[in-house]
C-alpha cells in the first residue's frame, strides 16, 4: 500500500500519481483528504483507494473498476458516472450521491443528501441511513436501497429501475408507485447486504415507475406533411399553420417537431460586405484559414483547416450512417465533429479525425472511457432551438441498441432533465469542469455549449469559469425534437447572440479570441461564416446545412422516426436509403464550398488571414439588422 | 472556514462580525477606498453625521474602510439612509460590522486585522465575480440597509426579485444594489421590525421567495438559515454543545475541527433553522 498525503500534494498531483499507481497495480491510502474535491477522479484501474477522512465533491467520479473506501463523509456527487467498481462511504454523503452511475456498488453507511441516484443507469446505490428529498429522481435503471427513511418525493419522474425502502416512505414523487416485492428481489438485496457485512433485519417496500408519463398518450396523427418551404412562405394562415392546428385538435397538446425556426428573423442575409469582392479562383491557396481551437488552458487544441466545425448532433436524433458520414466529411475537410447527446459510437470515433464528446444533463452515453478517446470535452447547458429544455427523443427512435448505449429502457419517449444534476450555478460549474479536467489529465480542451438567452451573463460566467471555447447557438438553431413553441419563440437570434457575446468579452477585458466563440444557429454557407467571423466569432458550426448537403429534404419531421432520407431515423429500412460514402462526399464538397467562399472573401477584402475580418468590413441592409448589430445602415465610406 | 472554500469564490471575501458593542452606540463601516478621494469621503461622512445630529465618538480608517462609532437618537432608518447617501455604507449596528473587499480571506484578514475581533457569531462569504471590475460593494455579506445589526450571505438566485423589490420600494425601503441578497436582507428585516420572530421571518421567506437559494442571516442575537424547496444550493452543518457552523462544503467545517471525523448533516429542502446566544 502506497501512501499519498494531501497535506503536501495537490489533488491534481495526487490523481496523477494514482493513475500511475493504478497502472502498476498498487493500492493507495490517502491521508489528510480534508474534504477536497475530485479525489480519485478518472481512475480506470482495479486498485483499492482508502481515504482516511472526508472527501469533497465527485470522489471516485468518472472511474472504472476501482474500489474506494472513504472513512468519513463525502460531498456532492460521490461516484459520479462510475462505470463499474465499488465505493464505500463510512459517514454521510452530500447531494446527488451515485449520480449517473452506469453500473457500480455505491454504499453510504450514514445518511445521504438530496436527489441521490439522479439519472443513474445501472448498479446499486445503498444508503444505510436516511435518504433525503427526491432520491431516484429521473433514474433510468439500476436499484436504490434505503435502509432508513426515504425522504420526500421518492422516485420523482423515475423512468426505470427500482427503489427499495426499509425504514418507511415519506412521500412518492410524480409517476412513482409502490408495488409488490418478489422473493428473488429480497434475496438479492439480502445477499448484497451480507456480502458487504451490513447487518439488517426488516422488510422492504418497492417503488417503481408508474408509467403514466413514459409515452405521450395520443400520438400525433399523420397528415399531409408541410415542409419548411411552406412554413416560411409567408402569411400566417399558411398550410403549415393549418396542419399544426389540425394536429393539436386531435392531441390537445403542443406539437413536437424537428428542424429549426420557420419564421423570418433578422439574420446574416440582412448584413453585407461593404466593399466589392472580386472572386479569385485560387483564393484558397493565398490566404490562411487554419486555426487552433481550445488552447486557452494549455490543453492540446483542436487543429482546424478552416474556422468551421460540425455542430453537435446525436446518434439517436440521427442514424448511425449519418453520424459516420459527418465523421468522414469532417476528416476529409480536416475539421472537427461532435457527438451530441447520445454517447460516442466507435465507428464515429474511428472516422472523425477530431471528435468533441458532449456531456448533457441526462448523462446519456457519457462515460470516462469515451472521454479519454475524445479530442475535446463539451458540457451542454442549452441549445438555440430550445433554451432551458432537456433533450427529447421519441419512442420510435429509442431502439434496443440505442437504449443500451445511452443506458436507458428501450421504447420510451425519452426526456433528458432540463438541467444538470450537479451544476446549479457558476460555482458548481467550476467544480464540474475541474472534474472533467482531472478525468482527462488536463490534456483536452473543455468547451461549453450555450443556447442564446442571457448571452452576456452566460458568456461572462463561461470566461470566468475558464472554458477553452464556447459553442454559442442562436434561436435559428435546429433540433431533432422539441415543442414548436420553443423552437419558434424562445431565445434570441444568432446575429444578436454574437454581438452580445463579443460585448460581454470586451467588458471583462478578454483579448480577441482568448476564449473563441464558435457561432451556430442557421449558418448556411461560407458567406454567413465570414460575416460571423467579421462580427467577432472565432469559428462557426454547421448542422442543418451539413444535413441538407447529405440529403435532408427539410420536412421538419426529424422527431417522427420515419425520415425518408435515412438521416433522422433508427429504422433500418429507412437507413438503407442513406448511402454513407456518397453522402459523406456530398457533405465534404459542401464544406469545401464554404472553404472557397471564406477564402474568396478574405482575399477579396485584401486580407491574408480569416481572423483579420472585422466589423468595418460589414454594413447592415435593414434597420433591424443595424439596430441589432450596431453596424451602419448606410455605408458611408 | 472561508479559505477552505475559496475555490468557490476567489475574487472577494467578506465578513459580518458581531463584537461586544453597546446599546448606546452605533458602529458604522463605510467603504471609502484608499485613493485620494478617501479623505474627502471621510470629511463628507463627518458633515452628514453632524447634520443628522449624531455625535462622532471615534473614527478610523482601516484598509479601504472607515469605521465610525457614533451616538445617535431617533429613527434608525432615516439616519441610515442619510449616511448611505453620504458614502458607501457597508453596515450599521450596535454590534454588527461588515468588512468586505477584493482578495482572498487571508488577504482581507491581513488588511483589516479581523483575527483580533472577539464576538459571539458572524457570517462570511467568498465571491466569484463574473465582471472584470471586482467591486467591494458587490461582495457579500449584505447588510439589511436601513436596519440595525442585520446581515445576510446567500448562494443562489431569487427569480421573483423585481416583484419583491417593487413591493418593498413602495413601502419606502431603499436598495443600494440590484443584488438579490440585499433584497432578502431587507425583506427579513422588515418582517423582524414588524414583530415577527426570526423563525417566522425565515419560514415566510421560503413561501415568498422563488428560485434557488441557501442563505444565512444574522441579527444582534440570533443566526439562522433557509434553504429552497429544491435543495439546489449546497449547505452542510455541524452542531456541538458549544457552537453551530454552517457552510457550503465540509472543507470549511474541517477548519474548526482539524483531523476530526465530523458528524455533518445537510439541512432538508424548504427548511429553516435558528440559533441564539449572547456573550
Contacts of A573 (CB under 8 A, 6+ apart): none
Contact A91 B263 (CB under 8 A): yes
The answer to whether residue A235 scores a pLDDT higher than 80 is no
pLDDT, position B59 = 95
Q: Output the CA–CA distances (angstroms, integers) from residue A334 to A257, A286, A330, A387, B259, in the order listed.
A: 32, 18, 6, 30, 54
The Cα diameter of chain A in Å comes to 86
Contact A54 B269 (CB under 8 A): no
For residue B221, is it within any domain? yes
Q: Which residue on chain B is closest to A462 by alpha carbon?
A: B130
Burial of A96 (0-12, 13-18, 19+ CB in 10 A): buried
Contact B130 A53 (CB under 8 A): no
Give contacts of A94 with chain B, Cβ < 8 Å.
234, 236, 250, 266
Cα–Cα distance for residue pair A416/A413, rounded to 1 Å: 10
Which of A36, A151, A463 has its CB closest to that of B251? Answer: A36
Residue B272, domain extent: 3-20+95-276
Which residue is it, cell 466593399?
A275
Residue A388 pLDDT grade (very low, low, confident, very high; cuts 50, 70, 90): confident
Q: Write down all domains in chain A, each with its CATH number in brackets.
A: 2-209 (2.160.20.60), 253-266+278-613 (3.20.20.70)
Contact B157 A425 (CB under 8 A): yes
CATH of the domain at B172: 3.60.20.10
The ipTM value here is: 0.89
Give contacts of A430 with chain B, Cβ < 8 Å.
7-8, 128
Residue B132 pLDDT grade (very low, low, confident, very high; cuts 50, 70, 90): low
For residue B52, is it within any domain? no
What nine digits make up the cell of B177?
444594489
Q: How many domains does chain B have?
A: 1
Say whether residue B269 is in contact with chain A using an 8 A CB cutoff.
yes
User: What average pLDDT is seen over chain B?
Assistant: 93
Contact B262 A72 (CB under 8 A): yes
Residue A637 pLDDT grade (very low, low, confident, very high; cuts 50, 70, 90): very low
pLDDT, position A635 = 53
Distance from CA of A332 to the nearest CA of B (A): 40
The answer to whether residue A234 scores a pLDDT higher than 80 is no
Convert the pLDDT of each residue in A258-297 to its tens digit: 999 988 899 999 999 998 888 888 999 999 999 999 999 9
Angle at A324 between CA A322 and CA A326, to 5 degrees: 70
For residue B141, is it within any domain? yes
Which has the closest alpha carbon to A488: A502, A473, A501, A478? Answer: A478
Distance from CA of B108 to the nearest CA of A (A): 21
Convert the pLDDT of each residue in B58-111 to its tens digit: 999 999 999 999 999 999 999 999 999 999 999 999 999 999 999 999 999 999
Convert the pLDDT of each residue in A534-560 to its tens digit: 999 999 999 999 999 999 999 999 998
CB atoms under 10 Å from CB of B24, counted, come to 10
Residue A636 pLDDT grade (very low, low, confident, very high; cuts 50, 70, 90): low
For residue B55, is it within any domain? no
Residue A412 pLDDT grade (very low, low, confident, very high; cuts 50, 70, 90): confident
User: What average pLDDT is seen over chain A?
Assistant: 95
Helix/strand/coil (H/E/C) assignment for every residue in A52-81: CCCECCCCCCCCCCCEEEECCCECCCCCCC
The answer to whether residue B133 scores a pLDDT higher than 80 is no
Indicate the pairing of strand B211-218 with strand B151-158.
Answer: antiparallel
Q: Which residue has the higher pLDDT, A192 or A388?
A: A192
Say whether residue B134 is in contact with chain A using an 8 A CB cutoff.
no
Say whether residue B265 is in contact with chain A using an 8 A CB cutoff.
yes
**E strands of A536-621, at which residues?**
539-542, 618-620
The answer to whether residue A233 scores a pLDDT higher than 90 is no
Convert the pLDDT of each residue in A239-268 to its tens digit: 888 888 999 999 999 999 999 998 889 999
Give contacts of A114 with chain B, Cβ < 8 Å.
231, 266, 269
Helices (H), A165-299: 183-195, 228-231, 239-251
Cα–Cα distance for residue pair A553/A84, rounded to 1 Å: 43
Helices (H), A446-521: 455-464, 484-489, 494-507
Q: Which residue on chain A is closest to B236 by alpha carbon?
A: A94
Cα–Cα distance for residue pair A514/B117, rounded to 1 Å: 43
The answer to whether residue B19 scores a pLDDT higher than 60 is yes
Contact B251 A34 (CB under 8 A): yes
B111-130 core/surface letters (b: 16 or more CB in 10 A; e: else): bbebeebeebbbbbbbbbbb
Under 8 Å between Cβ of A120 and A140: yes
* Interface size, chain A vs chain B, as Cβ–Cβ contacts under 8 Å: 102
Convert the pLDDT of each residue in A195-217 to its tens digit: 999 999 999 999 999 988 888 88
Which has the closest alpha carbon to A48: A85, A16, A13? Answer: A85
For residue B202, is it within any domain? yes
Cα–Cα distance for residue pair A504/B130, rounded to 1 Å: 10
Distance from CA of A447 to the nearest CA of B (A): 17
For residue B78, is it within any domain? no
Give contacts of A37 with chain B, Cβ < 8 Å.
7
3-class SS of residue A364: coil
Convert the pLDDT of each residue in A338-374 to its tens digit: 999 989 999 999 999 999 999 999 999 999 999 999 9
Contact B130 A425 (CB under 8 A): no
For residue B62, is it within any domain? no
Mutate to test the interface with B, among A5, A12, A91, A113 (most CBs of B within 10 A): A113
Q: Output the CA–CA distances (angstroms, integers) from residue B235 to A141, A157, A342, B246, in the order listed.
A: 28, 25, 33, 7
Cα–Cα distance for residue pair B11/B139, rounded to 1 Å: 9
pLDDT, position A225 = 79
A349 phi/psi in degrees, rounded to 5? -60, -40
Contact B250 A53 (CB under 8 A): no
- The residues on A that touch B, with CB distances below 8 Å, are 34-37, 53-54, 56-57, 71-73, 75-76, 91-92, 94-95, 111, 113-115, 132-134, 151-152, 424-428, 430-431, 457, 460-461, 463-464, 507-509
Which of B8, B131, B253 has its CB closest to that of A460? Answer: B131
CB atoms under 10 Å from CB of A293, counted, come to 25
Contact B266 A36 (CB under 8 A): no
Contact A426 B128 (CB under 8 A): yes
Q: Which residue on chain A is closest to B235 by alpha carbon?
A: A94
Cα–Cα distance for residue pair B109/B95, rounded to 1 Å: 19
For residue B139, is it within any domain? yes
The answer to whether residue A597 scores a pLDDT higher than 90 is yes
Which has the closest alpha carbon to A262: A475, A451, A472, A449? Answer: A475
CB atoms under 10 Å from CB of A184, counted, come to 8
Residue B106's beta-bridge partner residues?
A: none
B227-247 core/surface letters (b: 16 or more CB in 10 A; e: else): bbbbbbbbbbbbeeeeeebbb
Cα–Cα distance for residue pair A118/A158, rounded to 1 Å: 9
3-state DSSP helix/strand/coil percent for chain A, to nearest 5? 30, 20, 50
Say whether residue B193 is in contact with chain A using an 8 A CB cutoff.
no
Convert the pLDDT of each residue in A160-181 to its tens digit: 999 999 999 999 999 999 999 9
Residue B143 pLDDT grade (very low, low, confident, very high; cuts 50, 70, 90): very high
Residue B278 pLDDT grade (very low, low, confident, very high; cuts 50, 70, 90): low
3-class SS of residue A254: coil
Amino acid at each position: 500500500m502506497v501512501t499519498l498525503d494531501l497535506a503536501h500534494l495537490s489533488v491534481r498531483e495526487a490523481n496523477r500519481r494514482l493513475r500511475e499507481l493504478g497502472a502498476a497495480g498498487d493500492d493507495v491510502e490517502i491521508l489528510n483528504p480534508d474534504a477536497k474535491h475530485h479525489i480519485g477522479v478518472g481512475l480506470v484501474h482495479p486498485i483499492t483507494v482508502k481515504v482516511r477522512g472526508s472527501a469533497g465533491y465527485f470522489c471516485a467520479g468518472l472511474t472504472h473498476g476501482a474500489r474506494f473506501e472513504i472513512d468519513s463523509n463525502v460531498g456532492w456527487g460521490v461516484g459520479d458516472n462510475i462505470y463499474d467498481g465499488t465505493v464505500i462511504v463510512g459517514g454521510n454523503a452530500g447531494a446527488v450521491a451515485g449520480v449517473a452511475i452506469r453500473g457500480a456498488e455505491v454504499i453510504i453507511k450514514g445518511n445521504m443528501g438530496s436527489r441521490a441516484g439522479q439519472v443513474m443507469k445501472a448498479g446499486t446505490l445503498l444508503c444505510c441511513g436516511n435518504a433525503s428529498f427526491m432520491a431516484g429522481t429521473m433514474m433510468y435503471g439500476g436499484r436504490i436501497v434505503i435502509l432508513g427513511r426515504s425522504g420526500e418525493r421518492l422516485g420523482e419522474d423515475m423512468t426505470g429501475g427500482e427503489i427499495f425502502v426499509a425504514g418507511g416512505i415519506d412521500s412518492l414523487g410524480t409517476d412513482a408507485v409502490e408495488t409488490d416485492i418478489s422473493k428473488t428481489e429480497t434475496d438479492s438485496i439480502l445477499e448484497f447486504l451480507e456480502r458487504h457485512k451490513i447487518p439488517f433485519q426488516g422488510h422492504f417496500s418497492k417503488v417503481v415507475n408508474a408509467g403514466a408519463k413514459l409515452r405521450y398518450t395520443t400520438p400525433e396523427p399523420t397528415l399531409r406533411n408541410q415542409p419548411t418551404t411552406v412554413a416560411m412562405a409567408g402569411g400566417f394562415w399558411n398550410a403549415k399553420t393549418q396542419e399544426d392546428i389540425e394536429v393539436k385538435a386531435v392531441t390537445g397538446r403542443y406539437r413536437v417537431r424537428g428542424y429549426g425556426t420557420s419564421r423570418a428573423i433578422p439574420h446574416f442575409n440582412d448584413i453585407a460586405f461593404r466593399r466589392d469582392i472580386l472572386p479569385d479562383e485560387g483564393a484558397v491557396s493565398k490566404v490562411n484559414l487554419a486555426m487552433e481551437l481550445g488552447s486557452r488552458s494549455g490543453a492540446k487544441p483542436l487543429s482546424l483547416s478552416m474556422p468551421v466545425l460540425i455542430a453537435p448532433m446525436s446518434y439517436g436524433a440521427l442514424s448511425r450512417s449519418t453520424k459516420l458520414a459527418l465523421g468522414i466529411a469532417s476528416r476529409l475537410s480536416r475539421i472537427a465533429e461532435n457527438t451530441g447527446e447520445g454517447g460516442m459510437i466507435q465507428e464515429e470515433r474511428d472516422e472523425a479525425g477530431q471528435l468533441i464528446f458532449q456531456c448533457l444533463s441526462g448523462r446519456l452515453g457519457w462515460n470516462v472511457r469515451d472521454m479519454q478517446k475524445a479530442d475535446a470535452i463539451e458540457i451542454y447547458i442549452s441549445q438555440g432551438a430550445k433554451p432551458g429544455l432537456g433533450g427529447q427523443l421519441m419512442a420510435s427512435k429509442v431502439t434496443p441498441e440505442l437504449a443500451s448505449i445511452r443506458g436507458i429502457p428501450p421504447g420510451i419517449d425519452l426526456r433528458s432533465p432540463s438541467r444538470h444534476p450537479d451544476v446549479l450555478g457558476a460555482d458548481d460549474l467550476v467544480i464540474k469542469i475541474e472534474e472533467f479536467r482531472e478525468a482527462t489529465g488536463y490534456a483536452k480542451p473543455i468547451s461549453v455549449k450555450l443556447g442564446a438567452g442571457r448571452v452576456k451573463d452566460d458568456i461572462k460566467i463561461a470566461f470566468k469559469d475558464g472554458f477553452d471555447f464556447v459553442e454559442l447557438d442562436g434561436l435559428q438553431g435546429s433540433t431533432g425534437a422539441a415543442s414548436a413553441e420553443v423552437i419558434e419563440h424562445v431565445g434570441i437570434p444568432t446575429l444578436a447572440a454574437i454581438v452580445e457575446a463579443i460585448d460581454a468579452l470586451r467588458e471583462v477585458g478578454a483579448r480577441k479570441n482568448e476564449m473563441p466563440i464558435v457561432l451556430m444557429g442557421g449558418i448556411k454557407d461560407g458567406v454567413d461564416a465570414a460575416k460571423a467571423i467579421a462580427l467577432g466569432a472565432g469559428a462557426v458550426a454547421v448542422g442543418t446545412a451539413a444535413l441538407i448537403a447529405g440529403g435532408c429534404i427539410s420536412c421538419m419531421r426529424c422527431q417522427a422516426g420515419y425520415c425518408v432520407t435515412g438521416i433522422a431515423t433508427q429504422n433500418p429500412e429507412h437507413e438503407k436509403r442513406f448511402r454513407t460514402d456518397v453522402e459523406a462526399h456530398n457533405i465534404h464538397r459542401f464544406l469545401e464550398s464554404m472553404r472557397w467562399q471564406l477564402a474568396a472573401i478574405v482575399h477579396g477584402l485584401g486580407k491574408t488571414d480569416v481572423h483579420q475580418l472585422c466589423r468595418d468590413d460589414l454594413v447592415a441592409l435593414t434597420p433591424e439588422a443595424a439596430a441589432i448589430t450596431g453596424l451602419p445602415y448606410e455605408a458611408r465610406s | 472556514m472561508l479559505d477552505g472554500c475559496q475555490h468557490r469564490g476567489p475574487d472577494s471575501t467578506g465578513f459580518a462580525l458581531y463584537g461586544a458593542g453597546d446599546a448606546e452606540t452605533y458602529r458604522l463601516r463605510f467603504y471609502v477606498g484608499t485613493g485620494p478621494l478617501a479623505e474627502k469621503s471621510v470629511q463628507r461622512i463627518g458633515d452628514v453625521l453632524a447634520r443628522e445630529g449624531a455625535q462622532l465618538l471615534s473614527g478610523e480608517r482601516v484598509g479601504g474602510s472607515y469605521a465610525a462609532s457614533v451616538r445617535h437618537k431617533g429613527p434608525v432608518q432615516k439616519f441610515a439612509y442619510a449616511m448611505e447617501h453620504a458614502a458607501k455604507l457597508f453596515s450599521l449596528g450596535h454590534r454588527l460590522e461588515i468588512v468586505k473587499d477584493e482578495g482572498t480571506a487571508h488577504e482581507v484578514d491581513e488588511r483589516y486585522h479581523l483575527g483580533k475581533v472577539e464576538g459571539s457569531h458572524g457570517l462570511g462569504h467568498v465571491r466569484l465575480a463574473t465582471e472584470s471590475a471586482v467591486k467591494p460593494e458587490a461582495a457579500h455579506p449584505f447588510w439589511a440597509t436601513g436596519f440595525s445589526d442585520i446581515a445576510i450571505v446567500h448562494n443562489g438566485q431569487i427569480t421573483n426579485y423585481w416583484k419583491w423589490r417593487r413591493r418593498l420600494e413602495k413601502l419606502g425601503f431603499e436598495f443600494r444594489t440590484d443584488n438579490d441578497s440585499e433584497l432578502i436582507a431587507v425583506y427579513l428585516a422588515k418582517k423582524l421590525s414588524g414583530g415577527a420572530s426570526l423563525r417566522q421571518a425565515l419560514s415566510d421567506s421560503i413561501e415568498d421567495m422563488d428560485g434557488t437559494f441557501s442563505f444565512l442571516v444574522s441579527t444582534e442575537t440570533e443566526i439562522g438559515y433557509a434553504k429552497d424547496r429544491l435543495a439546489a444550493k449546497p449547505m452542510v452543518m455541524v452542531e456541538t454543545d458549544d457552537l453551530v457552523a454552517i457552510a457550503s462544503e465540509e472543507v470549511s467545517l474541517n477548519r474548526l475541527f482539524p483531523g476530526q471525523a465530523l458528524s455533518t448533516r445537510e439541512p432538508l429542502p424548504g427548511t429553516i433553522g435558528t440559533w441564539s446566544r449572547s456573550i
